[in-house]
């Protein structure tokens, strides 16, 4: 049987020698040299074996005894040695069949079974943190700490920044998860740190989401007013729908909102105008301009008291 090493030697020698001499140096016949002078290596031409070369020693007990043990092993820590000892104890007349020399065979069977039917393995992606590259930021609700002021619970949060490599941590008191609190926290942390990281990572901060909702609502309302002034009623109708959708997403948010309770309450009556405004814009009603202007003034008054 010709090996890969023989073929590599043959091809090196063939660069300087005749075929007969190169074959002799590689330890193969001239006929074999002609076959292997070019093409893939012998190991690359072997077909994977899909059949057993000897009888499976565990075929009689696999389904009835071994599989139940593997199924009960939810953590996947059962070893082949332990299973072999249990089989030898349960079948003393077959101690030779379940001898320690069969452990490697059983290990392969157990490995294959676990790959198909065993407990799912935890999937994780290792992270390599470089010094000074990344900081992670978030808000943490701290009311549950039980801090009181004159006997009344203090509703508050902490802004937190942590350097991913060193674990250096910065905390700052905040009363709401707002964009302003986020900016103050980041600025204070970097001032204390004396430098700036290349990356600041956040976990979908509510402050950014809430700010985006209100910014989208403000932009849509302004666009609707401008479009009606130009006589473009269809774009105005689409814009006013966006305004109410964005505003509703903010007022109905179950997470910490940047709206105060008073603002939430004051905004509710604005939704009563939604159907009437959309209907007027769909009919190209010129009176919708006055309605939109009133809505704009009312919204700005609530948001900027």
Task: Report the pLDDT value the prediction gives residue 279, as an integer from 0 to 100.
Answer: 92
User: Do 237 and 296 have their domain in common?
Assistant: yes
Residues 233 and 289 in one domain: yes
Question: Is residue 165, in this structure, part of any structural domain at all?
Answer: yes
Which residues have a Cβ under 8 Å from the Cβ of 186 and sit 6 or more positions away? 137, 161, 200
Q: Which of 165, 187, 203 is the last residue of a domain?
A: 203
Query: Is residue 219 located within the same domain as residue 299?
Result: yes
Number of domains forming the structure of the chain: 4
How deeply is 280 buried, as exposed, middle or buried, from its count of CB atoms within 10 A (0-12, 13-18, 19+)?
Answer: buried
59 exposed, middle or buried (CB, 10 Å; 0-12, 13-18, 19+)? exposed
Is there a single domain that holds both residue 197 and residue 232? no
Flag whether 218 is in a domain. yes
Domain membership flag for residue 122: no
Residue written as token pair 């609700």: 141
* Element of type H or E holding 6: helix 4-14
In a domain, 51, yes or no: no
Of 203, 229, 255, the residue at which a domain comes to its end is 203
Closest CA to 114 of 73, 62, 59: 73
Q: Is 56 among the domain residues?
A: no
Predicted local confidence at residue 255, as pLDDT:
58
In a domain, 155, yes or no: yes
pTM check: above 0.75: no
Domain co-membership, 245 together with 291: yes
Residue 282: which domain range?
207-303
Q: Which of 203, 225, 251 is the last residue of a domain?
A: 203
φ/ψ (deg, to 5) at 76: 70, 35
Partners of 199 in the beta sheet? 134
| Residue 125 lies inside a defined structural domain of this protein | no
For residues 215 and 299, membership in a common domain is answered with yes
Query: Tens-digit pLDDT profile for the chain (305 aa)?
Result: 889 999 999 999 999 999 999 999 999 999 999 999 998 888 888 776 666 667 888 888 999 999 999 998 888 888 999 999 999 888 888 888 888 888 998 999 999 998 888 887 777 778 788 898 999 988 888 888 888 888 888 888 899 999 999 999 999 998 877 778 888 999 999 999 999 999 988 865 555 566 667 778 888 888 888 889 889 999 999 999 999 998 888 888 755 567 778 888 898 999 999 999 999 999 999 999 999 999 999 988 888 76
């Amino acid at each position: 049987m010709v090996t890969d090493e023989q073929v590599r030697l043959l091809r090196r020698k063939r660069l300087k020698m005749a075929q007969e001499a190169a074959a002799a140096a590689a330890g193969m016949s001239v006929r074999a040299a002609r076959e292997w002078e070019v093409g893939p290596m012998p190991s690359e031409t072997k077909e994977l074996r899909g059949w057993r070369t000897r009888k499976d020693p565990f075929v009689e007990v696999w389904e009835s005894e071994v599989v139940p043990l593997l199924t009960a092993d939810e953590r996947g820590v059962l070893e082949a040695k332990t299973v072999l000892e249990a089989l030898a104890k349960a079948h003393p007349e077959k101690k030779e069949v379940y001898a320690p020399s069969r452990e490697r065979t059983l290990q392969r069977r157990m490995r294959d079974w676990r790959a198909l039917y065993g407990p799912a393995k935890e999937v994780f992606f290792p992270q390599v943190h470089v010094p000074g590259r990344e900081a992670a930021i978030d808000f943490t609700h701290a009311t549950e700490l039980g801090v009181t002021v004159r006997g009344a619970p203090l509703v508050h949060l902490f802004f937190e920044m942590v350097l991913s490599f060193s674990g250096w941590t910065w905390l700052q008191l905040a009363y709401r998860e707002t964009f302003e609190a986020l900016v103050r926290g980041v600025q204070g942390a970097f001032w204390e740190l004396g430098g700036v990281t290349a990356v600041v990572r956040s976990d979908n901060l509510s402050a950014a989401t809430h700010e985006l909702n209100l910014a989208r609502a403000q932009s849509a309302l302004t666009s609707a007013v401008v479009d009606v002034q130009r006589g473009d009623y269809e774009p105005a109708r689409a814009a006013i729908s966006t305004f109410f959708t964005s505003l509703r997403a903010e007022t109905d948010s179950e997470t910490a909102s940047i709206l105060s309770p008073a603002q939430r309450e004051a905004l509710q009556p604005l939704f009563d105008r939604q159907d009437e405004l959309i209907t007027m814009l769909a009919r190209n009603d010129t009176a919708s301009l006055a309605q939109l202007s009133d809505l704009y003034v009312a919204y700005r008054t609530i948001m900027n008291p």
